Structure 1
């Protein structure tokens, strides 16, 4: 979304300006610290104490049952343009409204809706804040947000204030204060706010989850997750990300700006917020060299990217400790040559699983110090993958599985597999890893967004198959 109204600057121009200034971001909010003065900033920001709960928890709160889920989509770029196809393939779902400041993208998405045999959706294309009008519609039950990260907080908050459940692409928000406000808004409005973390619904992830809960790994000890993906070409492609917005975060933050793909699945294995909780994070980072080197080789003189100073660590490594003493390692690396990997590791007293490639070692059946065949454990597949063995869509089908399950929960009036507390926890490493790196690896407290309810066991992604 990047088109401007005559009265205000476009999102693209704002982001270009921010990138040229080398703006920084603090744990509590935008610090406005330029590249030259960043070193003088406090190195150990104070994490605010847990605010008191003013409203009832949203943990365990079911959706309202409905025969048809009416969906509005905000953001129809690369991600939103793909996901609308899956919404249209789901049973009991109708796409009623679309929003993007680029009208051509909204029109192309609307054509998909009518081609699928649904009525023409309403279009909202009049500037950066037309999403507010979409959220105010009485015939929208769920708002899907797939916009640049800068807008996730505002759009989720607006949707809930307008009485809509909302699901957002990762991360949920970029600042701790924003995460707390979304938690409070969810509780106050009684609307769910969910991080739509598709990797939690990968076939391997769901199989490992069920095996872990069945005790095959014994007592869980450690896990690891990552986002290791060479994005250099895409981040300098103005067509893919519709301008420099994603690259510009590399001029603002030093740590893990995209933790949820790795954190979410491992948190599920360990029942984080459902019997255990993440209590602190310590992060170290390598020098930031990859993007500047790529620019040197590929970008012409005079390109706006030459005004940017990159501070994002080419590799950040975080260690998260849980209340039960378990350790979760998170890695983020998108600026150097490396085959794609999310690591996806889980270890316990009886054995270990490691992905990319998938391999397993479990006792007592394995005793020769050689990896075993993970494919031999297909009987532990989640019922969603047994029911949808060849799902449509990208990312190996996990996108479809995620949306199918979410829409099923809404249609049947079920409790969602994850909630605003999970969303806030999984996104907390964004500001906290930055703070830890600035403090030379000093541990940073991860807030208890559940306000003490984490110790209570409750269902999550390892769900039972409902009766339709």
Structure 2
């Protein structure tokens, strides 16, 4: 982006004259401050959720498409730094016969959008460094925020997002879609039903060969993700791995993460890739000689109750995709990669036994909307289930399933792992973003009870033209 980060943050703080002004804040001040607990908070229900989508590059257009299928939503504004991307997103609405949204573009388009539009939900799909400022600005403008991962890049940013959510009583949900994948939801329900006994250890990861994409001119705008791999040296993308296993281990609702240790390999590929490309294209010359983050980062985490989690990150090695998703309890075991398996002893269950377990323990959400979600798509359907459930909660006045403390604690692994790596893998403490409320917070309810409200729950089907419609 043409403006630097400092200017960007100033713009966020000057969003509107009615905005809440954040004081100069530090971690200690936040930790001591009283708070309104957003865990389990049910915001007033919204009949029609008016949505603004900011960021229409690699993730935003998919959000426009998915959200347009959900009854009781209206996409009222679209924004991207590039005007042509906004126009392309408008075509998605037009092709569905939906009303055009208000268009915003340019470096300050999102600021103008929040000043001018009446919005219930701001859906943020921008580069990482803008996530926290945009979440804070959206909530101060009176809207709930839903943000792609991570929700912040520094511990201070995570605290600021938490405090703003508590002050405004607006939800800030990090869009951790992997929590809504099918096997992850199955095993979460099995954990809640006690099938694995007490979980004592879990593992997650983001192992995804993005080497070519990170160096692609047609990939991330202005090569922003490659630049993040130069600026930060740690686990840059922990939330896909930590999110589902943290929920299984009741982190923030019965236990909490207390400290971590991160160890990382040197870089064995990114520097070489930059030199290889620069030899044929001068565009890449600026990336030669940079110190890139290492191939594999392994972060070990301890909890208050003496349990452990391991989270790995590798986006450069030529390996099969994996998020691991491993759960180890006193009575059973489960893992998703490289092959789904559940065991209650030395051997994995046979396929027919696994099928029987799936039929019995598939959560209500998956039974209700899972097949329709697969039709809409978004990483096999988990994106749509996540979006659908968020809108369902907002429309029916229900607590959301990923309150702000989840996004903050999972995202904080980014800067804390960098700190540990920089200190030769020294132990680093993890803040308690719930400020002690984890002791009484209750795990999220996996049922679809409507709490006595409207219970409006749209399905997605195909019409005679083989097009998806909302019933």
Give the TM-score of the pair, scaled to structure 1.
0.87
Give the deviation of 1:303 after TM superposition: 2.6
How far apart are residue 389 of structure 1 and its match? Answer: 3.1
TM superposition shift of 1:286:
0.4
Residue 434 (structure 2) pairs with residue 450 (structure 1): yes
1:315 to 290, 296, 300: 296
Gaps spanning 5+ residues in structure 1: where?
Answer: 3-8, 16-45
> Which residue, 161, 165, 173 being the options, matches 2:152?
173
Offset of residue 61 of structure 1 = 1.3
Residue of structure 2 in register with 1:280 after alignment: 259
The 5 Å alignment of 1:21-420 reads 48=28, 51-125=31-105, 127-299=106-278, 300-304=280-284, 305-307=286-288, 309-363=290-344, 369-373=347-351, 374-378=354-358, 379-390=360-371, 391=373, 392-420=376-404
User: After the TM superposition, which of the residue ranges 111-120 and 201-210 deviates more from structure 2?
Assistant: 111-120
Cα distance change, pair 124–272 in 1 and its aligned pair in 2 (3 A): same
Q: Is the 8 A contact 2:365 2:446 kept in 1?
A: no
CA distance in 2, matches of 1:356, 1:92: 37
Q: What is the aligned counterpart of 2:417 among 428, 433, 445?
A: 433
Contact 1:359/1:371, CA 8 A, preserved across alignment: no
Q: How far does the alpha carbon of each residue in 1:352-385 deviate from its partner, in whole angstroms, 9 at most, with x for none?
A: 111123433433xxx5634543433212111121
Deviation at 1:11, TM superposition (A): 6.9
Query: 3-state SS of the aligned residue for 1:57?
Result: coil
Q: CA deviation at 1:447?
A: 0.3
Deviations 1:281-304 (A, max 9, x none): 110000112212223444425233
- The count of corresponding residues between Structure 1 and Structure 2 is 426
CA offset at residue 465 of structure 1? 3.9
Give distance in 1, aligned partners of 2:153 and 2:289. Answer: 20
Q: Secondary structure at the match of 1:78?
A: coil
8 Å Cα contact 1:262/1:342 also seen in 2 = yes
What SS class does the counterpart of residue 78 from structure 2 fall into? strand
238-247 or 264-273: bigger deviation:
238-247
Work out the CA distance in 1 between the residues paired with 2:322 and 2:412: 21
Between stretches 195-204 and 181-190, larger displacement belongs to: 181-190
Work out the CA distance in 2 between the residues paired with 1:306 and 1:66.
48
8 Å Cα contact 2:122-2:145 kept in structure 1: yes
Deviation at 1:152, TM superposition (A): 0.7
Task: Output the CA distance in 2 between the equivalents of 1:395 and 1:11.
Answer: 33
CA contact 1:145–1:167 (8 Å) conserved in 2: yes
C-alpha separation in 1, matches of 2:85 and 2:205 = 31
Deviations 1:384-435 (CA, angstroms, capped at 9, x unpaired) = 2111232112211000000000000011111111111111001011000000
Gap runs ≥5 in structure 2: 9-25, 457-471
Once the two structures are overlaid, the 10-residue window that deviates more, 354-363 or 441-450, is 354-363
TM-score under structure 2 normalisation? 0.86
Q: 1:368 to 1:222 in 2, by over 3 A?
A: closer
Alpha-carbon separation, structure 2, partners of 1:137 and 1:415: 28
- Correspondence for 1:422: 406
* Contact 2:364-2:446 at 8 Å conserved across structures: no
CA RMSD of aligned residues (A): 2.1
Which piece of structure 1 moves more, 218-227 or 310-319? 310-319
C-alpha distance in structure 2 between counterparts of 1:319 and 1:55, whole Å? 29
Change (3 A) 1:449 1:350: same
